Amino acid sequence: MEIHKRNLKCLVLLIIILSSVVFAGQNDILTITHFSKTLQREKTFQVYIPPDAQPGERFPVLFVLHGAYGGYTDWVSRTSIEDLADHYRMILVFPDGDEFGWYVDSPIERDSQYETYIAKELVAEIDLLFPTVAEKEGRGIMGLSMGGHGALLLTEKHPDVFGSASSLSGILKITNHPDKWHIAGRLGDFKKNRKLWEQNSVWEQAERFKAANVQLLFDCGSSDTITGAIFDSRQLHTRLLSLGIPHIWREMPGTHSWKYWDIHLEEHLNFHQSAMVNVTPNLGKWREHYFKRLAEFFKENARICIHPPSEPTVCLLGSSSMEKFPVELLKGFRVFNRGISADTLGIGPRGISHRLESSVFDMRPNFVFIMNGRNDLGDRYRTGKPSIARMIEEYKKIVLTIRDRLPETKLIIVTCPPVRDHYAHLATSTRSFNMQLINMAKTLNIPVLDLYKALVDNDGFLRPEYSLDGLHLSRAGYEVMARMMRSFLTESNFAMQSTR
């Protein structure tokens, strides 16, 4: 839908039109043209509205910035962001930052005041036209390349406006690039205007984050060397470490390309939805719990980035049976419990395969125990899908990804515990799933902790003394599980120590 805002009468009509779109529960990308007082010319931006929005709901807003040579249509036309957005409850705004606006206020070009335009005028415009959470806690900003620079710089300068910021392949130290991408056209010759460049460079302004109270994520492809983005990102990471500023930094395979940005887009949407989960309406009980748990993971990962653990680290990956595991049973190890109640393997839009970065890779643990599949089996019982073969396929993808990304990490597959009582209908499929899981682990040479075998009774159900409710384990059941885990940890840890 294209809308042109010309005067007050049209503004009133616009609000009525937008309200009918929002409250009718339609899903559309709105294209809006307005006159910018800051830039003294017409500007166009796009807006995504969450599906099935209801009257009275107010949504958090994520501003999504494009890169150099690009425009406001890039994200929607060149990535899967529109499809992915349906799984979240955020308004997405795609501004026009000009091909080389760099999201700064230029002292040279009067019509290139993009810091003020985005952080003040457009934010106010969106809050006026749409049902937003008009506060820092309900506002995030992200971008790629030039837009990654813009997202972090605008947050440094306006920490009262944005509560979360993220960058993909950002040019984060513009002083490293005095002759590139028309930056001099905005800020003047580098040698003559070095101070101005430094005032508008993320790296030089990093100390602002100390008092900003914002959540930070930035990543870059390890092969992104032609632009120099990987070197900028590494330098920013080092500077933030020296300043003691919590953040999440990821260096992953890839180049300065739309392929890289589309692959990692979901991780950034997860990050921002989690940061704004407390002001997001009607996520539903499970999605709310899911994103609140991710919020805990992101905050913990940002802290350990600057204060890494001294003891061996263990990651517990799975659903409610992992989330309820008493971590004090593994004394002597730093345990990251990354279980999420009701979580699945990830065949649908949510699940383990969708959250590996925040759940595993950010903290690079020494050990990973993965136990999951029972919620997928529950879905299979209710709907007939997914098949066990499809579950094993997704499980294999998860463990191979972990093994490929973390070759030094010891990965252990844990079979699903048996069930009983109210969940007895899952007994046969659980046994079948575990058998195929063990076979898959053998072919991949991955060790298996056979918890099922340790806890099953002669009748094929979970032994009563190990049952809390027929599905989850009692304390006694977790003690058995912990003893078995310790056998893997002790043996492996001894081997690790002896090779140092």
CA distance 485 to 23: 51
Q: Do 341 and 204 belong together in one domain?
A: no
In a domain, 247, yes or no: yes
- Quick one: which H or E segment has residue 148? helix 146-157
CA distances from 92 to 102, 273, 422 (A): 20, 11, 43
| Chain centroid, CA 16 distance in Å | 34
Strands 61-65 and 139-144: parallel
Q: Which amino acid is at 294?
A: L
Question: Do 448 and 321 belong to one domain?
Answer: yes
* 421's tokens: 């009582």
Identify whether residues 220 and 77 lie together within a single domain: yes
| 319 vs 341: CA distance, rounded Å | 5
Q: How many Å apart are CA 388 and CA 20, to the nearest integer?
A: 44
Question: Are 327 and 444 members of one domain?
Answer: yes
Task: Report residue 125 as tokens.
Answer: 């415009």
Strands 164-168 and 139-144 turn out to be parallel
Pairing of β 41-48 and β 91-94: antiparallel
Residues 243 and 361 in one domain: no
Distance CA(103)–CA(92), nearest Å, equals: 18
Q: Strand pairing of 139-144 and 91-94? A: unpaired
Taking only the tens place, the pLDDT of each residue in 206-238 is 999 999 999 999 999 999 999 999 999 999 999
**pLDDT on residue 447:** 98
The secondary structure of 111-126 as a DSSP string is T-BHHHIIIIIIHHHH
pLDDT of residue 13: 39
Structure confidence at residue 54 (pLDDT) = 86
In a domain, 289, yes or no: no
Sign of CA dihedral 235, 106, 168, 129: positive
Same domain, 251 and 325: no
Domain C-terminal end among 237, 258, 279: 279
How far separated are the first and last CA of the chain, in Å rounded? 62
How big is the CA angle at 146 (ends 168 and 274), to the nearest 5 degrees?
A: 35
Amino acid identity, residue 204? E
Evaluate whether residue 52 is within a structural domain.
Answer: yes
Residue 299, in any domain of the structure: no
User: Could you tell me how many helices (H) and strands (E) the chain has, helices first?
Assistant: 18, 14
Overall size of the chain counted in residues? 500
Quote the distance between the C-alpha of residue 17 and its chain's center. 33
What are the beta bridge partners of residue 52? none
Averaged pLDDT score across all residues of the chain: 93
184 and 315 together in one domain: no
What pLDDT score was predicted for residue 15?
Answer: 47
Q: What is the DSSP string of 272-340?
A: HHHHTGGG-----HHHHHHHHHHHHHHHHHHHHHHS--SS-EEEEEESHHHHT--GGGGTTSEEEEEE-
Which structural domain, as residue segments, surrounds residue 433? 309-498
Q: Are residue 104 and residue 223 in the same domain, yes or no?
A: yes
Q: Both 227 and 273 in a single domain? A: yes
The sheet carrying 61-65 orders its strands as: 2-4, 29-36, 41-48, 91-94, 61-65, 139-144, 164-168, 215-221, 248-252
286 token code pair? 């499970």
CB 90 within 8 A of CB 61: yes
From residue 24, give the alpha-carbon distance in Å to each of 130, 232, 408.
Answer: 14, 45, 52
Q: Does 298 map to a domain?
A: no
Residues 6+ apart with CB under 8 A from 163: 136, 137, 138, 139, 140, 214, 215, 275, 276
Which domain CATH number covers 373?
3.40.50.1110
Residue 113 pairs with which residues in a beta bridge? 105
Percent of the chain as helix, strand, coil, to the nearest 5? 45, 15, 35
- Do residues 221 and 325 both lie within one domain? no
Residue 467 domain-assigned?
yes
Domain assignment of residue 291, yes or no? no
Does residue 386 have a cis peptide bond before it, meaning omega lies within 30 degrees of 0?
yes
- b/e burial code for range 371-394 (CB count within 10 A of at least 16 → b): bbbbbbbbbbeeeeebebeebbeb
Angle at 31 between CA 27 and CA 34, to 5 degrees: 140
The Cα 353–Cα 395 span in angstroms is 8
Q: Which two tokens stand for residue 308?
A: 């890494």
- CB-side exposure of 471: number of CA atoms within 13 Å? 17
Residue 297 resides in a domain: no
**Residues 323 and 273 occupy one common structural domain:** no
Q: Residue 266: give its domain's CATH number.
A: 3.40.50.1820
**Domain endpoint, select from 279, 297, 322:** 279
Low pLDDT (below 50) residues in the chain = 6-26, 494-500
pLDDT of residue 28: 73
196 and 86: one domain?
Answer: yes
Summarised one tens digit per residue, pLDDT across range 403-446 is: 999 999 999 999 999 999 999 999 999 999 999 999 999 999 99
How many structural domains compose the chain?
Answer: 2
Instruction: Report the C-alpha gap between 105 and 176 in whole angstroms.
Output: 19
